[in-house]
């Protein structure tokens, strides 16, 4: 697929690349990791050079959080992978930092003649990397607004923090779950530092311009099939040693990080280790939370007209990857 097929000349993009980034999106347990790697390998014969995978997953960036995040094992990699093990659990990281990181990988790999495949379970990370999403500079450290509302959270709890946002910005509060304190604090930052609102930014997603040449494929799985895969995947995580992984992270001093709201699969095991529930109950809670998360992931891309849906019901990653590669080859032939 060439830049002309995407509607612009190569020089019109904010970031010019010889070949567009191939984005593989979809819900958890849909097969993104395996398909992305197979597509990257296949791009070597289509484009020359090498295909590489860039993970756009907000939890796979953390070292030591492997089993619970579904991170590919080093011995299973057949192409180079980026976006994994970037920082320690609990270390400050954001979509803004990922944007900078991913675009640097895109440019570096393109200069080497390679093509990037962006595999995304975190919709905001994918869009931050590809679209013209503007973030304030230097908002990770030394941010008095963030420190103020973090202190408020520590003293009053998540519900009171959300209540305060609802008082000053009800439209934004209506879009954010009360337990998502990280996003609530971000909404306060936008109000106080940028003079805008989370709601206004959210509304702008639909019309946001694209910055990086890219094509999008979404792995589509019927909900009942997907939920069965999620259940099987969680069972495998426990068989592979998820409990031991959580214990190692706690022993390393990362308990607060693995009990964060977004740490599905970790915080539930901590509840069991703390005696709040049984391991069986923790496993069922992980399955339920993962199903809810998959619904949010599907909703994220539902209205994006750039998406090419791919039937992934059979779970045959070889067939799915070949379908995507054939689509790309035919698209390039049509625009040659």
Separation of alpha carbons 53 and 116, rounded Å: 6
First-to-final CA distance of the chain: 9
CA pseudo-torsion sign 200, 26, 294, 80 = negative
Closest by CA position to 146, among listed 87, 192, 209: 192
Residue written as token pair 């590919």: 72
The helix/strand/coil state of 107 is: helix
CA separation, residue 96 to residues 12, 92, 132, 257 (Å) = 23, 11, 11, 20
pLDDT tens digit sequence for 115-174: 999 998 899 999 999 999 877 654 555 678 888 998 999 899 889 999 999 999 999 999
What residue ranges of the chain have pLDDT lower than 50?
1-5, 138
pLDDT of residue 91: 84
The CA dihedral of 67, 31, 36, 93, to the nearest 10 degrees, is -40
Total-model pTM: 0.85
Look up residue 295 and give its DSSP letter: H
Measured CA to CA, the distance from residue 317 to residue 77 in angstroms comes to 15
pLDDT of residue 1: 44
Cβ-based neighbour number of residue 252 at 10 Å? 14
pLDDT for the residue numbered 235: 98
Q: How far apart are CA 77 and CA 54, in angstroms?
A: 12
């Amino acid at each position: 697929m060439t830049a002309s097929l995407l509607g612009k000349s190569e020089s019109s993009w904010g970031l010019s690349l010889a070949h567009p980034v191939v984005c593989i999106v979809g819900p958890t347990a849909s097969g993104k990791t395996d398909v992305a790697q197979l597509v990257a390998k296949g791009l070597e014969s289509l484009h020359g050079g090498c295909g590489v995978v860039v993970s756009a997953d907000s939890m796979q960036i953390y070292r030591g959080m492997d089993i619970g995040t579904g991170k590919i094992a080093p011995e299973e990699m057949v192409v180079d992978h980026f976006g994994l093990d970037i920082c320690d659990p609990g270390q400050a990281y954001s979509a803004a930092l990922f944007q900078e990181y991913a675009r640097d990988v895109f440019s570096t790999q393109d200069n080497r003649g390679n093509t990037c495949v962006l595999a995304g379970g975190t919709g905001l990370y994918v869009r931050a990397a590809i679209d013209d999403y503007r973030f304030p500079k230097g908002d990770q450290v030394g941010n008095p607004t963030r420190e103020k509302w973090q202190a408020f959270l520590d003293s009053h709890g998540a519900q009171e923090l959300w209540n305060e946002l609802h008082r000053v910005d009800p439209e934004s509060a209506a879009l954010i779950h009360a337990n998502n304190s990280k996003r609530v604090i971000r909404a306060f930052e936008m109000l106080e530092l940028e003079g805008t609102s989370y709601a206004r930014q959210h509304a702008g997603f639909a019309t946001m311009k694209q910055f990086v040449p890219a094509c999008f494929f979404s792995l589509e799985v019927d909900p009942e099939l997907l939920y069965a895969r999620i259940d099987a995947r969680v069972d495998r995580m426990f068989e592979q040693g998820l409990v031991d992984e959580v214990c190692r992270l706690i022993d390393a001093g990362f308990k607060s990080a693995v009990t964060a709201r977004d740490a599905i699969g970790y915080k539930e095991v901590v509840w069991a280790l703390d005696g709040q529930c049984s391991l069986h109950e923790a496993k069922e809670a992980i399955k339920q939370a993962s199903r809810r998360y998959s619904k949010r992931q599907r909703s994220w891309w539902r209205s994006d007209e750039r998406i090419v849906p791919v039937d992934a019901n059979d779970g045959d990653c070889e067939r799915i990857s070949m379908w995507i590669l054939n689509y790309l080859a035919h698209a390039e032939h049509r625009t040659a």
